[in-house]
């Protein structure tokens, strides 16, 4: 009998070319699929909640796959984690209705971007944060971040994409908080464009540093021109924290 299995996946994306399977490149999707096929002895196609770019991490990436295997859920998780590389882990697993789709059923996603705002590097944080050794006006950044809330055309903060798609997205929440030497940018939206989070963070850092004046991001948003916005920050500071689905029936 066909079953639909949902995975919650944590990974360090440093040594991968993103989530999505690519020819002749090491990706998270391809790595998990290959090992699942060994365990279940059948062709497996993972459906992810969405792609994460090269070098981006995840604490709560969601994927599902369908299988005819009768192997117990817990045994699939144990087998996967025993064979996966140490930088990928299946933290939760469950059987869900056959109509559940990891990508199409998404209500919102939450990403976190981490900045190390110190005058010296912290080697243990190097792979998961962006070292930015400049004085920042956090309050100014927090005030400017409110401009992004709601539904807008985010073309000014979108990297070029091979696929033509609408640039309109709705940001539900955008919080900036400082804890010690770290600044966290938590962004929840109904969807994200290519490079969107990294470009928003880069522009907010320009505000905090004083290179952009308060109020300018609203003008940049309206101009729909990527060249007007701030620089894109490195992928290594970005992590997919959570994918929200609401109730899975």
Q: Please tell me the total count of domains within the chain.
A: 2
Query: What residues are annotated to the active site?
Result: 53
Statement to judge: residues 24 and 117 lie in one domain: no
What is the structure's pLDDT at 2?
94
Statement to judge: residues 83 and 114 lie in one domain: no
What is the structure's pLDDT at 122?
95
Query: Domain limits at 237?
Result: 108-244
Polymer length of the chain: 249
What is the structure's pLDDT at 162?
65
Statement to judge: residues 171 and 191 lie in one domain: yes
Statement to judge: residues 214 and 236 lie in one domain: yes
Tokens describing residue 118: 């110190």
CATH number at residue 83: 3.30.70.580
What is the structure's pLDDT at 249?
60
What is the structure's pLDDT at 247?
75
How many other CB atoms are there within 10 angstroms of residue 186's CB atom? 16
Domain boundary among 96, 120, 143: 96
What is the structure's pLDDT at 160?
78
Residue 101 lies in a domain: no
Residue 102 lies in a domain: no
| Strand partners of residue 47 | 64
Cβ atoms of 106 and 91 within 8 Å: the answer is: no
The residues of the chain scoring below 70 in pLDDT are: 162-163, 249
Domain boundary among 51, 73, 96: 96
Statement to judge: residues 88 and 127 lie in one domain: no
Collapse the DSSP code of 104 into the 3-class scheme (helix H, G, I; strand E, B; otherwise coil) and give the result. coil
Domain boundary among 58, 75, 96: 96
User: Could you give the CA distance from residue 17 to residue 227 in angstroms, rounded to a whole number?
Assistant: 26
DSSP for 187-242?
Answer: EEES---TTHHHHHHHHHHHHHHTSS-TTHHHHHHHHT-GGGS-PPPPGGGEEEEE
pTM for the structure as a whole = 0.94
Statement to judge: residues 126 and 23 lie in one domain: no
């Amino acid at each position: 009998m066909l079953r639909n299995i949902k995975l919650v996946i944590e990974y360090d994306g440093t040594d991968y070319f993103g989530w999505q399977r690519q020819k002749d490149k090491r990706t998270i999707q391809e790595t998990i699929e290959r090992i699942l096929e060994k365990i279940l002895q059948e062709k497996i196609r993972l459906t992810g909640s969405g792609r994460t770019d090269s070098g981006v991490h995840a604490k709560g990436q969601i994927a599902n796959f369908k299988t005819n295997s009768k192997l117990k859920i817990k045994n699939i998780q144990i087998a996967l984690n025993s064979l996966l590389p140490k930088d990928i882990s299946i933290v939760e697993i469950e059987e869900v209705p056959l109509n559940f789709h990891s990508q199409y059923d998404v209500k919102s996603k939450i990403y976190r971007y981490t900045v190390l705002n110190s005058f010296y590097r912290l080697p243990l944080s190097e792979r998961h944060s962006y070292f930015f050794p400049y004085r920042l006006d956090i309050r100014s950044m927090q005030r400017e971040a409110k401009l992004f809330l709601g539904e807008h055309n985010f073309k000014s903060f979108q990297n070029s994409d091979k696929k033509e798609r609408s640039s309109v997205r709705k940001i539900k929440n955008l919080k900036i908080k400082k804890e010690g030497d770290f600044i966290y940018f938590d962004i929840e939206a109904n969807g994200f464009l290519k490079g969107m989070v990294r470009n928003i963070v880069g522009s907010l850092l320009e505000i905090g540093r004083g290179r952009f004046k308060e109020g300018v991001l609203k003008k940049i948003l309206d101009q729909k021109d990527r060249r007007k916005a701030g620089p894109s920050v490195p992928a290594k500071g970005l992590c997919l924290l959570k994918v929200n689905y609401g109730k899975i029936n």
